[in-house]
Amino acid sequence: MSAPLICGLCGVDSRRISPDHNPWSRYYRAIYCVGLESQEPQLSGLTFHRRGDEIEYLPPKAYQRFDDEGLDPLSLITIRGFRPPGALELQEDASYAWGFRFHDSCWKLVEQASAPDPVNLKLLWRILLSVPHTATLPLWGHNFGGLYLGSRRDYPRGNNFVIIGSSSSLIIPSAYRDPLEVPELTTRLAQQRIKTGDTASLNAKPICLTASSTRSLDPFSVLPVELREIILTYVATEDILSFRLSSRVIAATRLSQYFFQSRFWARRELDFFFDAFLLSPAEKAGIDWRELYRSSKARIKYNMVGLGERNRLRIWKQTVRPLTQAIHEITRLSELKGKSESDWPQELADGAQATWTSIETSQCLDPELVGDITRQLYRAEIELPSSKIEAIHVSLIDFFGVKYISGLAFETEHGEDIELGYIMPGSEEPLLVEASLEGFHVAVDYCGFKAISPYTSQHMQSEYLDWVGDKEDLPVRTLRCSEGAVRRIRATFDGFRMQSLHLP
């Protein structure tokens, strides 16, 4: 039997929604792999889940639908869960499909957030395997706008992630609205049209400059109006005032309809209101972008948004936008440095060769959840030379608005670099090591390592040097080598973050 139908993007459990009033919630897709060895994630076709069905069948290809004529029933797949096949399922390895399911509407939001580029399935799959997840839901680090209850003070440390049961009386009306088809926005677009008498403002010419001003040193004075308008579209709204103050020519250039249209482009200020770009060219041509921008900003500022808009904003700001930003961040990482194929976790467990001290993200989880949490991890190990470590260069990656340590580079007094984990070239933050490096102070939550400080021979255990990262109010833990100076370091990493650190 497949896992419960909870969308990994919006967090909505479709079993709790009336299919008559919310048919959108029954349409699903999945990102999946087949078998144990497959490293090529695929996007499934569209399926419709009927109430009472115990098993959900999906077409294997993205362009297919459940109601296509001639669809081969033997080609359909069933998502068995988030994990690859285990020992009991190895005999059906060739047909064992596993992965992550999303509402079709929520998936289309991801496509809009990635526009004009297609969604990078390989990098998204890498993130999905790395995010800790229970049997039903990926844990991105937020509570899906209140659908999953917990203390905001403790969250996202994992010890208050409580899933609302089907018998719960808690109702969040906006959460059950289709985030793609928003009637309120459709109505607003129909109203925000350029009136017949306003055509002059659409084609208004810029203010003419005097002869003295054109002879100024302003470099923009030699550009035609059309180019100045194009330049303005690439300036963030919050920087427009400073830009206009710095140039008389730019200050005299009117903010055209084209400029206000650019505020709704992908990855721009109001990109979550993309509905106008889905219209036909004839319908889109008459939109008053200036007024649409003004009214949209006002409605958001004063929280005058409808239920459908509220649900889109919730999903977009909490999951979709941070997820697409994380995909972009991961493209900057190096390959895993120090990757190890040895079976050293067994050594850590039985102490056969050495005694190790460890700090792991799983130690921050509620013991009742540890058994349900899973993620894909990779081992790494480095040997440090006997020469003194002068500095540690820390690579940080931004994930859902929080910075996590992705890798460490140890610089010796002779200029060598020994790298561990994923390195972010050009974005490393240095930590000076003033004496013999004997360990680390770290701040950790259940998603990864957030901050680090060196522990040296000339400082007391409670004394911290400089920090890299944001330890916030997390407890500081100390990992110290029992043999004096650090010479061996072992660690585990998910697809982009450090998950454990081990010293002998």
Measure the CA dihedral 465/469/471/475, to 10°.
-70
User: For residue 146, what pLDDT is reported?
Assistant: 78
Is the Cα dihedral 59, 63, 68, 71 positive or negative?
negative
Q: What is the pLDDT of residues 445-489, one digit of tens each?
A: 888 999 999 998 876 655 666 899 998 888 999 999 877 889 999
CB atoms within 10 A of CB 451: 22
Across the chain, how many H-helices and E-strands are there? 15, 18
Domain annotation covers residue 377: yes
Q: Which amino acid is at 289?
A: W
Say if CB 187 and CB 162 are below 8 A apart: no
- 13-17, 406-410, 465-469: segment of lowest average pLDDT: 13-17
User: For residue 363, what pLDDT is reported?
Assistant: 81
Say if CB 67 and CB 75 are below 8 A apart: no
Q: What is the pLDDT of residues 36-77, one digit of tens each?
A: 776 789 999 999 987 666 678 999 999 999 999 989 998 999
At residue 159, does pLDDT exceed 60? Answer: no
Q: Which amino acid is at 172?
A: I
CA distance readout (Å), 11 to 176, 315, 435:
10, 9, 49
Question: Of residues 160 and 477, which shows the higher confidence score?
Answer: 477
User: For residue 293, what pLDDT is reported?
Assistant: 95
Domain annotation covers residue 493: yes
Per-residue pLDDT, averaged over 119-146, amounts to 87
User: For residue 49, what pLDDT is reported?
Assistant: 82
Per-residue pLDDT, averaged over 229-254, amounts to 91
| CA–CA dist 444, 2 (Å, integer) | 33
Question: Of residues 90 and 195, which shows the higher confidence score?
Answer: 195
| CA–CA dist 438, 93 (Å, integer) | 46
| Tokens found for residue 439 | 């360990």
Per-residue pLDDT, averaged over 131-160, amounts to 65
At residue 88, does pLDDT exceed 80? Answer: no
Q: Where are the alpha helices (DSSP H) in 247-373?
A: 248-251, 257-262, 281-285, 289-301, 307-315, 321-330, 344-350, 367-370
| CA–CA dist 315, 304 (Å, integer) | 17
H or E element, residue 78: none
Domain annotation covers residue 136: no
User: For residue 163, what pLDDT is reported?
Assistant: 44
Q: What is the pLDDT of residues 280-316, one digit of tens each?
A: 888 888 899 999 999 999 999 888 888 889 999 999 9
Containing structural domain, residue 378: 344-503
Domain annotation covers residue 350: yes
Question: Rg (Cα) of the chain, in Å, rounded?
Answer: 27
Q: What is the DSSP string of 457-469?
A: TTS-TT-----EE
User: For residue 110, what pLDDT is reported?
Assistant: 96
User: For residue 17, what pLDDT is reported?
Assistant: 66
Question: Of residues 237 and 204, which shows the higher confidence score?
Answer: 237
Domain annotation covers residue 149: no
Residues with Cβ within 8 Å of 211's Cβ and at least 6 positions away in sequence, in order, are: none
User: For residue 166, what pLDDT is reported?
Assistant: 44
CATH of the domain at 365: 2.100.10.30
At residue 81, does pLDDT exceed 70? Answer: yes
The mean predicted confidence, pLDDT, of the chain is: 83
Q: How many domains does the chain have?
A: 1
H or E element, residue 129: helix 121-130
Domain annotation covers residue 105: no
At residue 150, does pLDDT exceed 60? Answer: no
User: For residue 364, what pLDDT is reported?
Assistant: 78
Question: Of residues 159 and 3, which shows the higher confidence score?
Answer: 3
H or E element, residue 243: helix 240-246
Percent of the chain that is helix, strand, coil (3-state, to 5): 30, 25, 45
Say if CB 55 and CB 1 are below 8 A apart: yes
Domain annotation covers residue 499: yes
User: For residue 201, what pLDDT is reported?
Assistant: 47
User: For residue 327, what pLDDT is reported?
Assistant: 95
Domain annotation covers residue 260: no
